[in-house]
Amino acid sequence: MYTPIPFSSVTISDAFWAPKLRVNRENTLPIEYEQCKITGRIDAFRLDWKPGQPNPPHIFWDSDVAKWIEAASYSLSTHPDPQLDALLDEVIALIASAQQPDGYLNVHFTVVEPEKRWSNLRDWHELYCAGHLIEAAAAHFQATGKRSLLDVLCRYADYIAVVFGVGEGQKRGYCGHEEIELALVKLARVTGEEKYLALARYFVDERGRQPYYYTAEALARGDAPEKFWARNYSYMQAHIPVREQREVTGHAVRAMYLYSALADLLPADPSLRPALDALWQDVCLRKLYLTGGIGPSRHNEGFTYPYDLPNETAYAETCAAIGLAFWNQRMLQLDCDSRYADVIERALYNGILSGVSLDGKKFFYENPLASIGLHHRQAWFDCACCPPNLARILASLGEYIYSQSETALAVHLYVQGSAEARIGGHALTIRQETRYPWDGEVKIMFDLDAPFEFDLRLRLPGWCQHFHLEINDSLCKAPLENGYLVIRRSWTASDVVRLELKMPVERIYANPNVRQDAGLAALQRGPVVYCLEAVDNSAPLEQIYLPREAAFTARFDADLLDGVVILSGEALAADPSDWRQSLYRSNPPRFSPIQIIAVPYYAWDNRQPGAMRVWLNDCGVSCQV
């Protein structure tokens, strides 16, 4: 077992992530607070809304405020800010004032529909909101040491434990939108209270058992269960008990939050492992976009069937990619297997980062892999789950870089900066110097009081075919274990590790079962997936073909998109000029050579509006000039 080095012990000082984290602190967090304020989400905790008034508090408003508190608390941990600290105190006091005498805390079901409390766990979000408030309370306590929100949420969790369970008079229910399960694990860790872990286990163990609670619940409120719009409970992963699940179904974010909770509970309950392994294989080998996005369907905000990965209509919700990172980060701690870190990296550098504009002020809810130029980031959403979710994962990014055990220090992500670790009773600081992801050279050094032995585990990314490893300027041949180069030695403060990850431009092809990508290829360099944007290219993107023999040059452009490596090379463009009188004909199109430019997918739609494509026509040998 490994433990992530807390983000509060990690300093990020590189040229890639550090500016993005600064934008998150200085732009995104204030904007999200203002949006929560002007839309009524924060003031709703005053409980002064009356029937007949406009803008009734929504069933999930509490969660948006909670995620902002969590993100702001993470920011305080790494960058103290008295003004932000005071603002958090103000919002938390308002939330505390909304708690009911019995411990209940939910704005909508306090002032809008109080008679419907706990009457529709299937569709409504009471336990979901409770989970996000619990996560916020844990984060705020860890950041500040203040119990102002933690005590409120402990009281709420205690009340929930009275309402739900297998005892006489308790409801045998569980949330339609998973979240509280993983939150209760966090609460147990922060407080040391086993009772919260027991409640998390209850919600996990009860899920999917028959007779279905949701059916009985619907009948009790006078609804016909068969009229449930999703038709069955696979939408919320409640169709069968979790230990029997082998195929990921339904709403993508709900699935990721559930699997995160299962991974949290796995060390004490190995019976969860077969399900988790099978679900991971199903997601990451059959249902994962090249960009780290998941969930192709708008209809259910989630999964359909294996290898169904449309590009222009891809839903790929930002929150789902974030949830995928949450789950894989937990799986990574179990046995330090690089396949989990590979998924985290793919999501972070592509499908998560694409969710926010470079200035941190606009957001994607959906992340398609192709656009005709009509898809753009927005300042906010009625369902505003994605913006604060982005803020909290960016603010806690440091926790994804390293893990430690009693005998090993693992480096999962290559990010310039430092981290304070403790291995086998010894304290040390690890330092990285690198220009990753634009450059594959990584230099690692240590600050320690005295030499001691431990394993340094360096992840060899799945995209890397060739590498070079040195210690103190001498070639090092380290064994590869679970995708990590393992260097076991007694380390000193003078030791220097140099790892060079060769980073050529690669053509990527999809599994032939992905029908939407048949005959197409994508471009990737290191962990970064590339796309074409109309603003950079002279031909319509759908008319561009990649010759198999064409070479691409990678060049860093400091003035473009806040500094990116762009790819340039020769391609072919179909000539439509002689098709003016034809919609169809027997002769194939003629092609002309053109120069194309590809930019990182995460940075698209930050300039003038226009078309975008990740997957490009693969010319093969059939294109004739």
Q: Give residue 619's pLDDT.
A: 84
Nearest 5°: the CA angle 199, 175, 327 is 75
DSSP 216: H
**Whether residue 310 has pLDDT greater than 70:** yes
d(C-alpha 121, C-alpha 363), whole Å: 29
Q: At what angle do helices 29-38 and 386-395 cross, to 10 degrees?
A: 150
Q: How confident is the model at residue 579 (pLDDT cuts 50, 70, 90)?
A: confident
Q: Could you give the CA distance from residue 384 to residue 63 in angstroms, rounded to a whole number? A: 9
- Residue 391 — φ and ψ, nearest 5°? -60, -40
Query: Given this model, what pLDDT does residue 412 score?
Result: 98
Question: How far is the C-alpha of 588 from the C-alpha of 385, rounded, in Å?
Answer: 47
Calculate the CA 295 to chain-centre distance: 13
Mean pLDDT, the chain, rounded, equals 97
* Per-residue pLDDT at 578: 81
pLDDT of residue 80: 96
Whole-number Å distance between alpha carbons of 435 and 18? 12
- Count Cβ atoms below 10 Å from residue 171 Cβ, excluding itself: 15
Residue identified by tokens 């431990």 is 454
Q: What is the pLDDT of residue 623?
A: 59
Q: Which residue has the higher pLDDT, 550 or 373?
A: 373
Q: How far is CA 188 from the centre of its chain?
A: 23
- Identify the pLDDT of residue 425: 92
Name the 3-class secondary structure at 273.
helix
| pLDDT at residue 477 is higher than 90 | yes
Cα separation, 612 vs 478, in Å, equals 42
3-state secondary structure of 489: strand
Report which of 121, 130, 193, 177 is spatially closest to residue 157, judged by C-alpha positions.
Answer: 130
- Could you give the residue numbers annotated as active site? 301, 385
pLDDT at 307: 98
Q: Cβ–Cβ contacts within 10 Å for residue 6, how many?
A: 15
Asked whether the predicted pLDDT for residue 355 surpasses 70, the reply is yes
Selection from 240, 390, 249 nearest residue 323 by Cα: 390
β-bridge mates for residue 524, sequence order:
506, 529
End-to-end CA distance of the chain: 58
Q: Which tokens go with 440? A: 């594959």
Residue 624: its pLDDT value, please? 59
DSSP 299-364: TTTB--STT---STT----HHHHHHHHHHHHHHHHHH--HHHHHHHHHIIIIIIGGGB-TTSS-B-
Percent of the chain exceeding pLDDT 90 equals 97
- The two three-digit tokens of residue 236, written as one number: 């919320």
Whole-prediction pTM: 0.98
Mean pLDDT of 457-473: 98
Average pLDDT over residues 226-250: 97
Say how far apart CA 62 and CA 69 lie, in whole Å.
Answer: 11
pLDDT, residue 622, reads: 53
Give the Cβ contact number of residue 414 at 10 Å: 25
- Site of tokens 């997601």: 283
> What is the SS3 string spanning 163-218?
HECCCCCCECCCCCCCCHHHHHHHHHHHHCCHHHHHHHHHHHHHCCCCCCHHHHHH
> Rounded to whole angstroms, how far apart are CA atoms 214 and 197?
24
Is the pLDDT reported for residue 277 higher than 90?
A: yes
* Chain length of the chain: 625
Which of 112, 109, 110, 131 lies closest to 120, judged by CA?
A: 109
Local structure of residue 164 (DSSP, 8 states): B
Compute the half-sphere exposure of residue 456: CA atoms within 13 Å on the CB side of its CA: 24
**What was the pLDDT predicted at 219?**
97
Q: How many CB atoms lie within 10 A of CB 620?
A: 12
DSSP secondary-structure letter at 110?
I
Cβ proximity of 611 and 362 under 8 Å: no
Q: Residue 469 pairs with which residues in a beta bridge?
A: 499
Residue 120, φ and ψ in degrees, nearest 5: -145, 75
Q: Is the pLDDT of residue 577 over 90?
A: no
Q: Which pLDDT band, with edges at 50, 70 and 90, does 549 fall under?
A: confident
- Sheet of 467-471: strands edge to edge? 10-12, 417-423, 426-434, 441-448, 496-501, 467-471, 474-475
The whole-number pLDDT of residue 541 equals 98
Residue ranges and CATH numbers for the domains of the chain are 39-228 (no CATH), 404-501 (2.60.420), 505-620 (no CATH)
pLDDT band for position 213 (50/70/90)?
very high
